[in-house]
Amino acid sequence: MGGPLSQIPEGLIGGFQGSLTEKFLMVVFSSIALYNAIELIILIFLVFNHYAGLYFWTMLLSNVLGVIPHAVGYLLEFFAKGPLWLAVTLSTIGFYFMVPGQSIVLYSRLHLVVQNRKVLCRVRYMILFNTIVLLIPTTVLTYCTIYVRTEPIIRGYNVIERMQLAWFCAQEILISLIYIWETINLLRLRPEKDPGRTKIMYELIAINVVIVLLDVALLVLEYVGFYALQTTLKAAVYSVKLKLEFAVLRKLVSLVHARPSDSSSTDHDKYPNFVNPRHLAGDITHATPVPAQTRSRYWWSAISVDSLDRSEPRGFSSEATRPL
């Protein structure tokens, strides 16, 4: 079990003294995180045609300024390579972009299945509030624990560090559960009419369940006292979750292009707009113009489906996007 709250987590002030097996696992976890991050960066620039939109930027920054600095920073810190301030700063910057960034990635495609604007607005404000409330005190206590090391500060750091991890995991789980719930509701809309659409939705649910399980795994490691393993595994877990999110968006694009079979014109009226190909006009990568008064006031409300490469759904002919 974890040590007392008055003890500095092993490795936080540099030089992890654990077993060789633990050190080996830390290197493996960090290597997985770096590999996934570099691979995702390449995929993002290959797949996206327009480098704009909330989804594009959060995916890119979560890797470039999130996963990579987080993994490198903790390797430098735990193996005492280089100045401690540099290692801690890198890992802190990485956490800023990686962990809250994951929640923003989840939010940025949520409106594809959630039609309730109040729900979307509350999720957005929840992410902003939690980010401000949790990141600032955690950062202050981290540096104070390293350079001041008084018992009240160490206790405060241990408490806020555990609370922060649990809070962000709960936030991501909540967003994923909303997504799963709304996707299940879509499955109830005459699923027998299009088995292909149903298969894609089940795959989306499975991906979100895996994301939830990964969050639970991090929580377990944190509360049994494996601080060093948890922090290095965190980068690997978030890199995997970002890859799964990339898969989610590709599935959603396939869902948009999927033409329901054996459906009458009255059946189409029962589908939401984003799953009804009859409502598509022109290229899916360009949103249909809306009156100025109905546009969102917030720049972050845009999803980056409109940023995807136009050749992404290559298996579909242009007829699928023509108005009937």
In a domain, 150, yes or no: no
- Answer whether residue 124 is part of any domain: yes
| 15 dihedral zone (left: phi>0; alpha: psi -120 to 50; beta) | left
Q: The domain spanning residue 29 has which CATH number?
A: 1.20.1070
The count of structural domains within the chain is 1
Question: Tens digits of per-residue pLDDT, 291-322?
Answer: 444 444 444 444 444 444 433 333 333 333 33
| 4 falls within a domain | no
Task: Identify the residue whose tokens are 């969050």.
Answer: 215
What is the pLDDT at residue 194?
62
Q: Among 119-123, 198-202, 254-258, whose mean pLDDT is lowest?
A: 254-258
Enclosing domain of residue 48 = 20-137+171-257
The verdict on residue 157 lying in a domain is no
Tell the burial category of 268 from Cβ atoms under 10 Å away from its Cβ (0-12, 13-18, 19+).
middle
- Amino acid at site 259: R
Q: Kindly report, residue by residue over 54-103, the tens digit of the pLDDT.
A: 888 999 999 999 999 999 999 999 988 889 899 999 999 999 999 999 89
Say if 24 falls within a structural domain: yes
Is residue 320 situated within a structural domain? no
Q: Is 57 within a domain?
A: yes
